[in-house]
Amino acid sequence: MKVISYNVNGIRAALKKDLVGWLRAADADVVCFQETKAQPEQIDDQIFKDLGYEFCYWFSAEKKGYSSVGIISKTKPKHVEYGVGIDYMDREGRNLRADFEDVSVMSLYLPSGTNDSRLQFKLNYMDDFKIYIEDLKRDYPNLVICGDYNICHEPIDIHDPVRLKTVSGFLPIEREWLSAFLEESGFVDSFRKLNEDVVQYSWWSYRANARANNKGWRLDYHLVSASLEDKIVRSVILPEAKHSDHCPVLLELK
């Protein structure tokens, strides 16, 4: 199974930048989108069906043009779960899960902590999400949680760890949560599993020519249940794709 995760920062805008051509060449089995910024009726599923993705699912925020996630798949899932059943989380359209025969794939878009109130929202979300996942794993032990976590885990994951240590996305409390999620909830950072010392980023600010100067952050992950660790054969970041301020990340499981 080849899974791509991509924060497209507006799926309609990305489609105008030949996202379709890129998806055709990438030829994944499942694609998880974040920040689609669209309601289901604003997305033409036929565009993706023409690429072989017969099964398209969208979970949108109540607020139009905001947040929202999607999953497209060439294989029909056994079940699709919209949201996590926690009202304040689901109103922002940040979690969508597709269950296949041997693995469940989730598209996740964790909030960013752009100010004090949103940082507290993010921290609450992270705590409730961790509890939710630990409970979910009892019934769905083989989980792949793809998406934009809005957290850089280690100094290697951010271009200026000293100057940015007080900025949300690299705060100690956020990094500690991600460490605990990996260790206590039983997940593996698939990229670091296969690329221990590689310096690569998946998001760049639109300001100050950050992408051209590679002043980025690694915010996008495929976190894989420890039960699937020996199935990881490839996990890469794909910076050549330029439909968004993020780039896609790819995971292959045998």
Looking at the annotation, which residues are catalytic? 148
DSSP state of 128: H
Q: Alpha carbon 177 to chain centroid distance?
A: 17
d(C-alpha 36, C-alpha 18), whole Å: 15
For residue 177, CA distances in Å to 21, 87, 169, 185 come to 37, 22, 11, 11
d(C-alpha 37, C-alpha 8), whole Å: 9
d(C-alpha 35, C-alpha 110), whole Å: 10
> H/E element holding 187?
strand 187-189
- Two structure tokens written together for 117: 């109130």
